[in-house]
Amino acid sequence: MQSSTPTNLTTTVRNQQVSLRFVALSGDISNYAALTGGILINDIAINNHVITGLSNTTTYYFVVTAVKNSTESTSSN
């Protein structure tokens, strides 16, 4: 895996959903993964993704990792 990791992760919160945006990596990345509390929430194919079905009364902390050849990068900011 290249030493780079997804950067500049930002979120937009709406009713029971969050939009994740980040700077994608160049190269042959198979997918990105969104995690909260170390638990996989969604596999992401693009650098602008909406996660639905969240609770409005729960605090979530998201990070994004890149996956290339079954190897995962370090977590985003």
Nearest to 18 by CA among 60, 74, 47: 60
User: 15 pLDDT exceeds 90?
Assistant: yes
Q: Is residue 43 very low, low, confident or very high in pLDDT (cuts 50, 70, 90)?
A: confident
Contact 41, 32 (CB under 8 A): no
With 0.85 as the threshold, say if the pTM is over it.
no
Q: Is residue 14 very low, low, confident or very high in pLDDT (cuts 50, 70, 90)?
A: very high
Strand partners, 62: 36
CA–CA separation, 19 vs 13, rounded Å? Answer: 6
- Look at residue 7 in the predicted model and tell me its pLDDT: 87
Provide the sign of the torsion angle of the four alpha carbons 67, 68, 73, 77, taken in this order.
Answer: negative
Domain annotation for the chain: domains and CATH numbers = 7-72 (2.60.40.10)
Range 2-6 average pLDDT: 69
